[in-house]
Amino acid sequence: MSKRPSTAVTLSLGMAAVKLTMLLPAIVSVLLVSAPSAFAQPAGQDVDSVAQLRTALEQGGFSVQPGVISTVDWAGMYCKGDRADAGYVNRAPYLLIQVPESATVPTPIENFKLRPDEAIVLIGATPPPVKYFGFNAFLATRFYADEPAGNQRKWLVATLGDAINNATIKTSGPTPFGTPVVIIFTPDRGTDARIRTALQRTGYPSAAVNTMVLPSSILKLGESDTADELTLKMRIGLVEGSPERLDAYVRDAGTAVKVLRVTPTATTAADPFPVPPLRVRGTGQGEMNLMGKVDELRAGIVAANPGMHATDIPSMPVGYEGYDYIQRRAVAGADSRDNVFLAAGYIPQFGSNQRVTLAADEFLVVYGVNHVATGKASYASVNVYASEFAKLSIGQVFHDKFAGTAAPYLPNGDPAVSLLYAVKASRNCGDEPNCIPLRVDACPVLTLEDNTALGFFFRMYLEPATRAGAAIQEIVYDRAIKFSPRP
């Protein structure tokens, strides 16, 4: 992105490169905090309130192990030679949630196994005002006994149902932002109820307690070698107002966020939650009435660049539904039901195999429907990656820069201008307006060359009407064109 990266923080970004290379988006962040009495305490007493909760849980028949939150900069690590690639993240630090390996092994790990009666509890504050945030639980890896030896555990990183997002989260404040919350991740109704009782006893208001169900009927829970590994994440997109507030939230999460692994000390009868119903994507009202206008926009873009050879770069949906990927044993790469992901160019991990390169005298135009303007998303972004080896973002733009960008390519007064966008991307933007500079900053292990393969991710999060991601059949796909003086 041409400006500073959107702070998207990826919780337990066990997105580890899909082999966690497939991190499709964002920044994860987790929670911090206290409660009514807990939530109302002075900042210096937050630790005491969590300590009181731990005592109440232990008195209620649980053992409690603390997790760890750390800040990790995958792009920076790649550029220092400490990672094989940047994992398709934005150029920003990510928050990593690490869960104790088990009730008896306190070593924190990103991808963890869980007994059917256990829970992970996050206690903290939501981010300051942003266009989107959402918490997800993922099936990180699964063991398949019928696969060849040595290849039996496979990466999936597939969502386990809906996220808890800024449109659905229960908090103790008047808005979903900057307010204390608790999230319980568990498969078991009995465990959930007992944790809620302990929270209530120590002053945490029930209005701020959320449960994300880990569906037992889908998962292979337990601690055996063949049990599933899970991971937790949060995405944050496009800060509203002062970026410093979000920077501080991310910076302080390591000390502010509390993560607890909660395990019953005595075996009880399982009481698994049923699989929660999914929020329905789509409203029945789509963007197809703009399909012809997008074609007109393309024609206008090509006409505005006479003498240049135009190569179309179409996009395709990826990472749409985690349950689909789980059933096909396919890598979802951290999908989200709050989002529509489109891939284009050279991103073979997701089946997009059009090899795109960009010489110094060539440029790109990304264009299409502004999905926020049509009401199909709360925020949208375009990322260009050096995709073949680095998987590093070299340029990005968000929907807040789209206004008026289609005007040069459509007739004067065309009302569709407010619903469309067209933004140039080049290695040589100079002072040109509406141009994303494609560059590599402070990364000695990567040089942007004429033959560097490029890939694109288009992201659109949270349709306000449904509180979920848009339906792909209601979206006009974003596109790109490469312009070259040579055929």
Give the pLDDT confidence score for residue 89 in this predicted structure. 83
Give the pLDDT confidence score for residue 302 in this predicted structure. 98
Cα separation of 398 and 437, whole Å?
14
Q: Please compute the mean of the pLDDT values over residues 348-367 and round it to a whole number.
A: 97
Give the pLDDT confidence score for residue 44 in this predicted structure. 39
The three-state (H, E, C) secondary structure of 285-340, written as one string: CCCHHHHHHHHHHHHHHHHCCCCCEEEEECEEEECCCHHHHHHHCCCCCCCCCCEE
Comparing 199 with 250, the larger pLDDT belongs to 199
Question: Which positions ≥6 away from 348 have C-beta within 8 Å?
Answer: none
Lowest mean pLDDT among 64-73, 77-86, 282-291, 380-389: 64-73
**Amino acid identity for residue 325 in this structure:** Y
Count Cβ neighbours within 10 Å for each residue of 257-275 and write b for 16 or more, e otherwise: bbbbbbbbeeeeeeebbee
Reduced to 3 states (helix: H, G, I; strand: E, B; else coil), residue 465 is coil
The β-bridge relationship of strands 379-386 and 363-369 is unpaired
List the structure tokens of 285: 């009202």
The confidence band for 173, taking pLDDT boundaries of 50, 70 and 90, is: confident
Cβ atoms of 165 and 134 closer than 8 Å: yes
Give the pLDDT confidence score for residue 253 in this predicted structure. 84
326 has a pLDDT exceeding 50:
yes
Give the pLDDT confidence score for residue 268 in this predicted structure. 85
Give the pLDDT confidence score for residue 24 in this predicted structure. 40
Mean pLDDT of the chain: 90
57 has a pLDDT exceeding 70:
yes
Give the pLDDT confidence score for residue 91 in this predicted structure. 63
Give the pLDDT confidence score for residue 25 in this predicted structure. 37
Q: Please compute the mean of the pLDDT values over residues 329-345 and round it to a whole number.
A: 96
Give the pLDDT confidence score for residue 222 in this predicted structure. 97
The confidence band for 92, taking pLDDT boundaries of 50, 70 and 90, is: low
- Highest mean pLDDT, choosing among 14-18, 250-254, 349-353: 349-353
Closest CA to 11 of 31, 33, 39: 31
H-only helix segments in 94-230:
189-201
Give the pLDDT confidence score for residue 69 in this predicted structure. 81
Give the pLDDT confidence score for residue 20 in this predicted structure. 39
List the structure tokens of 2: 């041409």
List the structure tokens of 282: 């789509």
Give the pLDDT confidence score for residue 73 in this predicted structure. 87
Lowest mean pLDDT among 54-63, 168-177, 210-219, 294-303: 168-177
Query: What is this structure's pTM?
Result: 0.90
Give the pLDDT confidence score for residue 93 in this predicted structure. 63
Cβ atoms of 260 and 54 closer than 8 Å: yes
pLDDT tens, position by position, 5-42: 344 444 433 333 344 334 443 333 333 333 334 554 44
Question: Which positions ≥6 away from 205 have C-beta within 8 Å?
Answer: 35, 36, 39, 172
